[in-house]
Amino acid sequence: MIPIKITAHMAGGVVFHPAEGMTIDGPLAWAAVLERLGEDAFVQVDNAEMARRTAEPDPAVPLAVRRAGGLWIYCASLAELEGYHGTDLRHWNKRFDDAFAQSYIDALDLSRGAKIQLNSGEFKSYHQPIYVEAVERLVWYAVGDPDEVRRLLTSHITHLGKKHNRGYGMVAAWEVEPYDGPDDRWLWRAPGEPARAIPTAMLDDWSGEVAWAGFRPPYWLAAHQTWCAVPIVTEVPA
């Protein structure tokens, strides 16, 4: 495995928060599971089972692994933004379809005073904000097998971020190339500036900012969250 640079050339806006970052080990881990399990990858399991399945690195994920302090992480940074054009506030909506209201009413037993509530329950209407980042490229630094990383990404990862079903986050093209900079570029953007969430237990000495954060996929899992040294986003590059 070698130092690599991964670039997603975006076809449109991406829904994510730059301060939280965008991972690449998460999509790669998902692609590896999808290839191994097929449709069974979509079967939900409880958190305890998910923690058991992800307690050790997945050998099908083509990234190097760093171990320290009783923990491990994949050797991959968070995304860095290139060609950034700002944040666009949009909204997504869900409305009760009046054209089919009668069919719903006929199917319900309203004889006991039941009502269709539009402010709660299954028929609730929504008007929610979406913050869309207008960015041309997302760039990650990692240590891995460039050919296998490229194959997994181009075969399975077509979108990044949230709200794929509304057209956001489409990737126009993936680029994976060797990187001839510092071997630890995936870990540090600059001396003392983390390129990703790093559990403080993995660092000999850390006196900078910390946050409770996920450090390996799946990042939402409580077992994969701890106090971490994290990148501080003060402004987003142009």
Does any domain span residue 224? yes
Does any domain span residue 235? no
Q: For 192-210, what is the mean pLDDT? A: 91
Contact of 156 with 123, CB cutoff 8 Å: no
Q: For 210-234, what is the mean pLDDT? A: 89
Q: How many CB atoms lie within 10 A of CB 225?
A: 16
Is the N-terminal amide bond of 218 cis, ω within 30° of 0?
yes
Same domain, 190 and 180: yes
Same domain, 67 and 151: yes
Report the domain count for the chain: 2
**Rounded CA gap, 238 and 126, in Å?**
33
Same domain, 176 and 212: yes
Same domain, 16 and 57: yes
pLDDT digits (tens, 9 = 90+) for 22-52: 899 999 999 999 999 888 778 888 889 898 8
SS3 content of the chain, % helix, strand, coil (to 5): 25, 35, 40
Same domain, 57 and 97: no
Does any domain span residue 236? no
Q: What percent of the chain has pLDDT over 70?
A: 83
Higher pLDDT, 168 or 19: 168
Does any domain span residue 115? yes
Q: What percent of the chain has pLDDT over 90?
A: 47
Does any domain span residue 238? no
**Rounded CA gap, 3 and 171, in Å?**
22
Does any domain span residue 67? yes
pLDDT of residue 89: 79
Lowest-confidence segment of 67-81, 117-131, 182-196 by average pLDDT: 117-131
Whether the pLDDT of residue 200 is over 70: the answer is yes
Cα-Cα-Cα-Cα torsion 216, 218, 220, 224, nearest 10 degrees, comes to -40
pLDDT of residue 132: 84
Does any domain span residue 58? yes
- Considering only the C-alpha atoms of the chain, give the largest distance between any 2 of them, rounded to a whole number of Å: 73
Q: Provide the whole-model pTM.
A: 0.81
* Residue (of 2, 30, 130, 142) closest to 79 by Cα position: 142
The residue among 77, 97, 127 that closes a domain is 127
Same domain, 156 and 95: no
Whether the pLDDT of residue 113 is over 60: the answer is no
Strands 171-178 and 65-68: unpaired
pLDDT digits (tens, 9 = 90+) for 120-130: 666 667 677 77
Same domain, 6 and 123: no
Whether the pLDDT of residue 238 is over 50: the answer is no
Residue 74: phi and psi, rounded to 5, are -75, 145
pLDDT of residue 41: 79
CA geometry: angle at 52 spanning 51 and 58, to 5°? 90
pLDDT digits (tens, 9 = 90+) for 88-99: 777 767 666 666
Domain containing 44 equals: 2-86+133-229
Same domain, 80 and 174: yes
Indicate the pLDDT class of residue 112, thresholds 50, 70 and 90.
low
